[in-house]
Amino acid sequence: MTQKIANDVYWVGVRDASLVVFDIVVPTEHGTTYNSYLIKGEKHNVLLDTSKKDFSETYFANLEEICPVKEIDYVVVHHTEPDHSGALKELLQRNPDITVIHSRPCRKFLDNLLNQDFKSWVISSGDTLDLGGKTLKFFVTPFLHWPDTMMSYLEEEQILFSCDFMGAHYTTEKTDSILNSALSEEDHKDMVEAFEFYYSMIMRPYNEHILKAIKMLDELEIRMVAPSHGMVMDKNPQQFYEWYREKANNYLVRLQSKRATIVYASAYGNTARVMEFVREGMEDAGVEVDVFDTSSAPMEQIINSIELASAVVFGTSTINAKAPEPIFSVIANLVVLNVSGRKAAVFGSFGWSGEGITMCEDLCRAMHMKLEQEPFRVQMTPSDEQLDQAREWGYGLGLKVLG
Ligand SMILES: Cc1cc2nc3c(=O)[nH]c(=O)nc-3n(C[C@H](O)[C@H](O)[C@H](O)COP(=O)(O)O)c2cc1C
Ligand SMILES: [Fe+2]
Ligand SMILES: [Fe+2]
């Protein structure tokens, strides 16, 4: 099934209602769509993205309904993740004369994806393609969410083809339409939830880049947003766009923050005791501190706090030569944030070898966090003297957080 969404603009994508997990870690309660669009001009026909390879048969059948592949002149690859570029190789096999339009960083990805020669046009922001009666304008918007991401804007129809930005893993069998204006109120609520969840799982690490893109896109009149997943937003596109701006502002909030997040795991209360004094020291230095015990704090709260903190402090026990699982779990969940360059420090109590502390430090380094000082280690139960030292260690760290 295909759909005309504006004058000479067609949705030719595919629905994947049965998808339950996307990219290994993203649950997709409402399935998803792989959106592809065809624009027919008086001079040229241009295809925007393709689909996941597994859906090639349906995809090409849809596409041929609107335009024979032989009559397509250009394909815009907004991003090379295989959910959108999976059918590209077959497209070029069917018509090797098609010119691939892409960003500069995309070139290498395309070479590695296709392993063949192809006609290529590297665009810069502001470049336009005259389709005959229609003008497509391009924007390079890196890291939304890959280095190669770009977007297109159809001037005459005021449609922003936004790639994964403003996307949602959502589809429903209750309507054949791809437009959000066709959803019932109840389904629209589900769609909005999926839209927000998509941001929190996929776009959230890139707030800084969202703000950069928005600065460029603000010049556009946007009547419709056509992302690469989920519904095309003809109803209230501006509202969704502003929602993104507000979320992305968290990046600026964090830059000005004087906050630290302490996350700790403690079996017998030794690391917990050290934590109290580290916290006191940091607060004495003037830092606002959020503390989370991994055995009771909801993961979402921990991650939300880290998002807005200028430093992350891990307190860890050592169990069987490792940091305990909840510490690894917090680190794994940092996948939805960008912690590169973030200030960090580690403390903990151990019995005889203390690998938990070392592992935690190694992982911080691997995530390009900035370890501010040597870890604070205590063997078994901290003495009063060690607790004083913990406070001093926290105070010194606090000054670095503020500095
Ligand atoms: C099951 C278990 C395994 C442990 N394995 C280690 C270990 O491999 N290396 C080590 O340095 N300490 C080990 N310890 C000792 C604890 O790290 C030590 O008692 C520490 O003070 C506990 O701090 P906590 O109360 O904050 O958890 C182990 C303790 C338990 C209970
Ligand atoms: Fe993607
Ligand atoms: Fe995608």
What's the CA gap between 330 and 140, in Å, rounded?
Answer: 33
Q: Do 262 and 245 fall into the same domain?
A: no
For residues 310 and 92, give the distance between their C-alpha atoms in angstroms, rounded to a whole number: 47
CATH number for position 393: 3.40.50.360
Neighbours of 23 (CB within 10 A): 11
Q: What is the pLDDT of residue 104?
A: 98
Per-residue model confidence (pLDDT) at position 288? 98
Both 24 and 158 in one domain: the answer is yes
CA 330 to chain centre: 18
Q: In this structure, are 289 and 238 located in the same domain?
A: no
What's the helix, strand, coil split of the chain in %, to 5?
40, 25, 35
Residue ending a domain, choose from 224, 251, 278? 251
Task: Determine which residue's CA is closest to atom 3 belonging to ligand 1.
Answer: 319
Q: What's 188-253 look like in SS3?
A: HHHHHHHHHHHHHHHHHHHHHHHHHHHHHHCCCCCCEEEECCCCEECCCHHHHHHHHHHHHCHHHH
If asked whether residues 274 and 391 sit together in one domain, one would say yes
Q: Which ligand is nearest to the CA of 32?
A: 3
> Where does residue 157 rank: exposed (0-12), middle (13-18), buried (19+ CB within 10 A)?
middle
> Which residues constitute the domain of residue 351?
257-402
Q: Is 320 in the pocket of ligand 1 (CB under 6 A)?
A: yes
Rounded mean pLDDT for each run of 10 residues along the chain, 403 residues in total: 97 96 92 98 98 97 97 98 97 98 98 97 98 98 98 98 98 97 98 98 97 98 98 98 98 95 98 98 98 98 97 98 98 97 98 98 98 98 98 98 93
State how many domains the chain has. Answer: 2
| Spacing, Cα 73 to ligand 1 middle (Å) | 65
- How many other CB atoms are found less than 10 A from the CB of residue 367? 18
Q: CB of 270 closer than 6 A to ligand 1?
A: yes
Pick from 172, 193, 307: which is nearest to 240 by CA? Answer: 193
Domain end among 251, 284, 306: 251
Closest listed residue to residue 3, CA positions, set 17, 16, 15, 19: 15
- Encoded tokens for 352: 């005889």
SS3 for 107? helix
Looking up residue 162, the CATH number of its domain turns out to be: 3.60.15.10
269 lines ligand 1 (CB under 6 A): yes
Instruction: Give yes or no for residue 382 CB within 6 A of ligand 1.
Output: no
